[in-house]
Amino acid sequence: MSKKIKAIRGMNDLLPADSQIWSFLDSTINNLLLSYGYKYCRTPNVESTETFSRAIGEVTDIVEKEMYTWKDNNGDSLTLRPEGTAGVVRMMIEHNLPREGIQKVFYNGPMFRHERPQKGRYRQFHQIGAEVFGASDAKVDAELISITDSLWKALKINAKLEINSLGSAESRALYREILSEFFNDNKGMLDEDSSRRLKTNPLRILDSKNNDLEALISQAPKMIDHLDDESKEHFKTLKNYLDQLKIPYIVNPKLVRGLDYYNQTVFEWVSNELGSQGTICGGGRYDGLVEKMGGNPTPAIGFAMGLERIALLIQDKSKELIKDRPHLYFLSLGENAHFESMKLSRKILQVMPKITITNDITMGTLKSQMKKANKSGADYAMILGEEELARNVLSLKPLKGQGVQQSIELEGIIHHLQEIL
């Protein structure tokens, strides 16, 4: 026997039994974003490596340790996308879309990072994100946060909002000097990773996962205390919007996000419903990124969330959240009945596209087909044999105790189904 081929570690199959949750999540999030005027876009899974190294930052963990990168036959460096924003920015610049006015877009697709697989975090994961280009006011920051707040309410997920401001490029540069001075004075307490970040981007030390540095980081100067007047006003306006929308929040001065392109507003939604507290959605402003990647100066903001974690969060609530499609199991006996069952199924589904009809394809006896119908979870069995055809009727048998079996005239079956489903 040949050796079985298995999926690559950290890259998982979505099995049919689990697909209902994912379909529900996709449609719920997509419809919410469409209702706010966001339009769907799609970018390639593979981009030039420079797309990510320039956008995310050369000295981030993603670029240094986690990207799937290789040289193609032409010697060009290519990378499987580790996140969605950089590709969307590249698309905006390449097609000159901001010239047409404010752009509100969202995307949904697989991302790839070579990191240690754990519950809800895999090497291939699926991300939905929304981005706005061309709007600088805090109103759009609040809109994106409001959309995600509405999503948690729809999915019955308990999450808390943390916000911070990273200020303008100028105030951030000044703060970086102040922070560098503080950590240089305490260099002996830094681990190897933070010592390296001190030379490249000291703000990333604030994002350290090393518990031994927690006390030192808590004593570090805070960005929020070194904002310029414009940044203070932007952050104050955002908080006013959130207060008006009655969205509770916590100002977390250590929140910097893991990517170098952020400025001004940054935010994360965190939940402890998976055990330890974890981020389920994050985002922020990146007003300088379009220009950094070769476009015209364009204010921009966005958020992203990993669907694997969201799917885990609603797993136990799926029966409460997801309304099953009405399901009919069609049994047929005899050649003429097989043909008629196919024609009738098609006719019904053209009128009632939101129901499911499973046509039995085993060609078994009535008893064996009925056994499969009961196992299928269907609401009703439709039974068509030569006897029913001769009388121009179809037998409709309830499978979940909704009444007794009835004979329905073939011409009136659609009307009858519309009444009972």
Q: CATH homologous superfamily for 324-420?
A: Anticodon-binding domain (3.40.50.800)
pLDDT of residue 115: 87
Delimit the domains of the chain by residue range: 16-168+227-319, 324-420
pLDDT of residue 17: 86
pLDDT of residue 261: 79
pLDDT of residue 58: 65
Beta bridge partners of 409: 393
Question: Tens digit of pLDDT per residue, the chain (421 long)?
Answer: 789 999 999 999 999 988 999 999 999 999 999 999 999 999 999 999 999 988 887 666 677 789 999 999 999 999 999 999 999 999 999 999 999 999 999 999 999 999 888 877 899 999 999 999 999 999 999 999 999 999 999 999 999 999 999 998 888 888 888 888 888 888 888 888 888 888 877 877 887 778 888 888 888 888 888 899 999 999 999 999 999 999 999 999 888 776 667 899 999 999 988 776 689 999 999 999 999 999 999 999 999 999 999 999 998 888 889 888 999 999 999 999 999 999 999 999 999 999 999 999 998 999 999 999 999 999 999 999 999 999 999 999 999 988 899 999 999 999 999 999 8
Whose CA is closest to 266, among 244, 246, 250? 250
Q: CB neighbours of 118 closer than 8 A, spacing ≥ 6? A: none
Beta bridge partners of 394: 408
pLDDT of residue 343: 95
Say which amino acid occupies 383. I
Task: Kindly state the tokens that stand for 390.
Answer: 């001769």
Query: Taking the mean position of all CA atoms in its chain, how far away is CA 397?
Result: 40
pLDDT of residue 248: 98
Per-position b or e across 401-419, b if 16+ CB within 10 A of its CB: eeeeeeebebeebbeebee
pLDDT of residue 391: 95
Instruction: Report how far residue 80's alpha carbon sits from residue 72's, in angstroms, rounded to the nearest whole number.
Output: 12
What is the model's pTM?
A: 0.88
Task: Kindly state the tokens that stand for 311.
Answer: 């799917």
Instruction: Report how far residue 158's alpha carbon sits from residue 253's, in angstroms, rounded to the nearest whole number.
Output: 22
pLDDT of residue 121: 81
DSSP conformation class of 169: H
Secondary structure, 3-state, 356-420? EEEECCCCCCHHHHHHHHHHHCCCEEEEECHHHHHHCEEEEEECCCCCCCEEEEHHHHHHHHHHH
CATH T-level assignment (fold) for domain 16-168+227-319: BirA Bifunctional Protein; domain 2 (3.30.930)
In contact, 61 and 89? CB cutoff 8 Å: no
Q: CB neighbours of 191 closer than 8 A, spacing ≥ 6? A: 208, 210, 212, 213
Instruction: Report how far residue 348's alpha carbon sits from residue 330's, in angstroms, rounded to the nearest whole number.
Output: 12
Instruction: Report how far residue 150's alpha carbon sits from residue 156's, in angstroms, rounded to the nearest whole number.
Output: 10
Task: Kindly state the tokens that stand for 40.
Answer: 């769907």
Per-position b or e across 148-179, b if 16+ CB within 10 A of its CB: bbebbeebebebebbbbbbbbeebbeebeeeb
pLDDT of residue 183: 87
pLDDT of residue 260: 67
CB atoms near residue 99 (< 10 Å): 12
